[in-house]
Structure 1
C-alpha cells in the first residue's frame, strides 16, 4: 500500500504547516476572509492574502505527495485526510477547552449569532443581538462582550459595533454550561456618523475581554 514513506511524511509535515498558518485558536484568524480554501483565507477586504494563497498551494502539494506515496486506495485516503484536516482543529480545541483551558480560553462560540436593528426615530435605533456561548471548563467565567462589525468601518457603515455604545456588556457563564446571550439596547446615534438605519446581520463576530486577555471569535 505504501509506495514512498518520504512522500507520505512530507505530506503530513506540509499539512501540519498549513494548519498552523490559521489555526482558529485562541482567535479566529479568518474573521475578515471573503474567500477561503480549506480554512485558509484567499481574499479579504484588503485584497488577496499572500499567506493564504501559499498555504493553499502547499495543501495541494501535500495531496499530490500523498497520492505519490500510496500504491492504492489513493482517492479514498485523500477524502479521509481532507475530512480529518477539516475537523481536527475543532476536536483539538474542544479537548483543550474541556481539560486545561481556564477563563475565556474555555469559551466556545459556533459563530451563528444574529443582530437585528430597527429604526425608532431619526436618531434612535433599537438593536437586538442573540448568540450562544459554551463554557467548557468546570469553573464559572466572567467577561465583557463587544460586537465587531462584519466589514471595516472605513469601507462600510457601522452595524454590529453600534451595540457597544451602551457597553460594556458583562456576563458570567457557569462551569460546563451553555448560555444564550441576548443584548437588547435602545441606541442614541446623534453623534454617530456612517451607521445603518435598519437591517439584520448573521454570523456575527464578537470580542471577549477578561482583564488583559482578549479573544476574537
Structure 2
C-alpha cells in the first residue's frame, strides 16, 4: 500500500503548513475573501492574496505527494485527506475553547447572523440584527460587540457597521450557554454620508472585544 514513507511524511508536513497559514482562530482569516480554494483566500476586494495563492499551490503539491507515496487506495486517501483537512481546524478550535480558552477566546459564532435595514426618511433607518453566539467555557463571559461591514466589488457604502452608532453593545453569556442576540435600533444617519438605504445582509461579520483580546469573526 505504501510506496514511500518519506514522501507521505513530507506530504503531511506540507498539509500542516497549509493549515497554519489561514487557521480560523482566533480570527476568521477569510471573512473578506471573494474567491476561496479550500481554506485559502485567493482574492478579496483589494485584489489577489499572495499567501492564499502560495497556500493553494502547496496544498496541491501535498496532494500529489500523497498520491505518489501510495501504491493503491489513492483516490480514497485523497478523499479522506480533504475531509480531515476541512474538519480538523474546527475540531481543534472547539477542543481548545472547551478546555483551555477563557474570555472572548471561548466564544464561537456560526457565521449565520443577519441584519435588516428599512429607511424611514433621508436621515433615519430602522436596523435589526440577529445572531447566535456560544460561550464554550466554564465561566461567564462579558464582552463588547461591534459590527463589521461586508465588502462588495465597487461598493464602499457602510452597511452593518452603521449599527455601531448605537453601540458598543455589551453582551454577557453564561458558562456553556448559547445565546440568541436580537438588536433593534433607530439609527440617525445625518452625519454618515455613504450608507445603505434598505436591504438585508446575511453572514455578517463581528468584532468581539474584552479587556485582553480582540477577535474578528
* TM-score tier (shorter): over 0.9
For residue 7 of structure 1, give the secondary structure of its aligned residue in structure 2: helix
Structure 2: how far apart are the matches of 1:31 and 1:76? 31
Q: Please name the residue that 1:162 is paired with.
A: 162
- Once the two structures are TM-superposed, the CA of residue 211 in structure 1 deviates from its matched residue by 1.4
Structure 2: how far apart are the matches of 1:51 and 1:128? 36
Q: Please name the residue that 2:205 is paired with.
A: 205
Structure 2: how far apart are the matches of 1:194 and 1:135? 35
Q: Please name the residue that 2:37 is paired with.
A: 37
User: Aligned-residue CA RMSD in angstroms?
Assistant: 1.3
Q: Please name the residue that 1:180 is paired with.
A: 180
Structure 1: how far apart are the matches of 2:181 and 2:22? 27
Structure 1: how far apart are the matches of 2:4 and 2:149? 48
- Once the two structures are TM-superposed, the CA of residue 6 in structure 1 deviates from its matched residue by 1.1
Structure 2: how far apart are the matches of 1:151 and 1:77? 37
Q: Please name the residue that 1:151 is paired with.
A: 151
For residue 126 of structure 1, give the secondary structure of its aligned residue in structure 2: strand
For residue 88 of structure 1, give the secondary structure of its aligned residue in structure 2: helix
The residue correspondences of 1:89-168 to structure 2 (distance < 5 A) are 89-151=89-151, 155-168=155-168
Structure 2: how far apart are the matches of 1:43 and 1:168? 31
For residue 130 of structure 1, give the secondary structure of its aligned residue in structure 2: strand
- Once the two structures are TM-superposed, the CA of residue 155 in structure 1 deviates from its matched residue by 4.6
Any gaps of 5 or more consecutive residues in structure 1? none
Q: Please name the residue that 1:47 is paired with.
A: 47
For residue 24 of structure 2, give the secondary structure of its aligned residue in structure 1: coil
- Once the two structures are TM-superposed, the CA of residue 104 in structure 1 deviates from its matched residue by 0.5
> What is the aligned residue count?
217
Structure 1: how far apart are the matches of 2:99 and 2:52? 31
